[in-house]
Amino acid sequence: MPKTESSVNPFETAKQQIDIVADLIGLNGGIRQVLKHPKRELTVNFPVRMDDGEYRVFTGHRVQYNMVRGPTKGGIRYHPQVTLDEVRALAAWMTWKCAVVNIPYGGAKGGIVCDPKKMSRDELERMTRRYASEISLIIGPEIDIPAPDVYTDSQTMAWIMDTYSMQRGFSVPGVVTGKPISLGGSEGRGEATGRGCAYVTREAAKDVGVRVKGATVAVQGFGNAGSIASTLLHDEQGATIVAASDSRGGVFKSDGINPHALEEHKKKTGSVVGFPGTKQISNEELLESNVDILIPAALENQITGKNANKISAKIVAEAANGPTLPEADKVLFEKKVTVLPDILANAGGVTVSYFEWAQDIQGYFWALSEVRQRLEQVMVRSYQDVHKVAVERKVHNRTAAYVLAIQRVVEATKTRGFYP
């Protein structure tokens, strides 16, 4: 998670969000305190042999935030700036994301303090396997199911699955999700985040009165989620992509950009910049462009109190995590801009991870069409649930999503009670 403000502790932010919703729904002190504390945390320090023969000690974390609704779920990231408080915050947010889409998981997260860009593939494999061995005490298909995150991928998950399976003496594909198809991965997992975002955008457009066919779209971050969401809106709904960007800059064309041609251009050149027939724009200009639908799919903290007034889109669909700051939410709500919050808009990924886990447990795999159909059902229902709370409580969608999620966790907590 990029640190734009060194003084901002992400876990303090996560706890503040809980307090805001707890005040709104009148939650008592005891359960409020439960919600603000992770259930279980494991920090491990372990040696790894590097390619030069020397050993280096790495620090890794795994936080299981809340498991009253089921086993915990969440990614593992490799980054030099991983901290325990960051992992705690991400685990909390995963708890609410799973509850928003009403899948039977709690939230977890993991991370290793390392710079994967400076490590060889062999070093990454040895580090991954040792970390998996260290946390194997608390992961498993019925306990906690890791997945890929920043600088980890399907190969990382394959190493974890193999390490865990070797310790058990038999194959356990359900211990992780985001695996290669050959090891029990699910069809449709790679497109799931973008496809889920496209589904909730389509549903929101009906309530906002935006006709998606012919609507203009700008996507900040033409990567996996952003490119898939915008391409699906173009191909299946008839929207017009007029602006797109990546870390090197953006492009704009008022009469529309062919997203497939743009994808090919990016594969060849490494960037959307320089796509024929377009004008170059900055990421800042893209956010403020005159479009119907804006998809922030890049970094966090992009829409702030300073530029929120300049956002002209009618719908902001957050394919990225945390692109909108709290002060910007208030401004956008007053401007009647419909924000589809990250814990709803990009929850397609964890939803299809849940499908993958369910397929692994059953040993029965679904066709791509079935995965897409089930994902659509979950995302449409989840949007409708959030929209209903927003209308009833007269709040913006982010607050509504948190209210819905926390109420579901509170209900499960009260129903189960406290043992002993």
**Residue 109 three-state SS:** strand
Q: Do 215 and 239 touch, CB atoms closer than 8 A?
A: yes
Q: Which phi and psi angles does 169 have, rounded to 5°?
A: 90, 5
Nearest to 148 by CA among 115, 109, 113, 184: 109
HSE (side-chain half, CA atoms, 13 Å) at 7: 0
For residues 222 and 227, give the distance between their C-alpha atoms in angstroms, rounded to a whole number: 5
Reply yes or no: is the peptide bond before residue 420 cis, omega within 30 of 0. yes
Number of Cβ within a 10 Å radius of residue 68? 18
Give whole-number Cα distances, 8 to 114, 229, 330, in Å.
Answer: 21, 31, 20
- Greatest C-alpha distance within the chain: 68
Number of Cβ within a 10 Å radius of residue 302? 24
Q: Do 78 and 387 touch, CB atoms closer than 8 A?
A: no
Beta pairing class for 40-49 and 338-340: unpaired
Q: Of how many residues is the chain composed? A: 420
Residues identified as active-site: 109
Q: Do 210 and 238 touch, CB atoms closer than 8 A?
A: no
Q: Which phi and psi angles does 360 have, rounded to 5°?
A: -65, -40
Query: Looking at residue 303, what DSSP letter applies?
Result: B
Beta pairing class for 216-220 and 249-252: unpaired
Question: How far, rounded to the nearest angstrom, does the alpha carbon of residue 166 sit from its chain's CA centroid?
Answer: 30
Give me the amino acid identity at 71: P
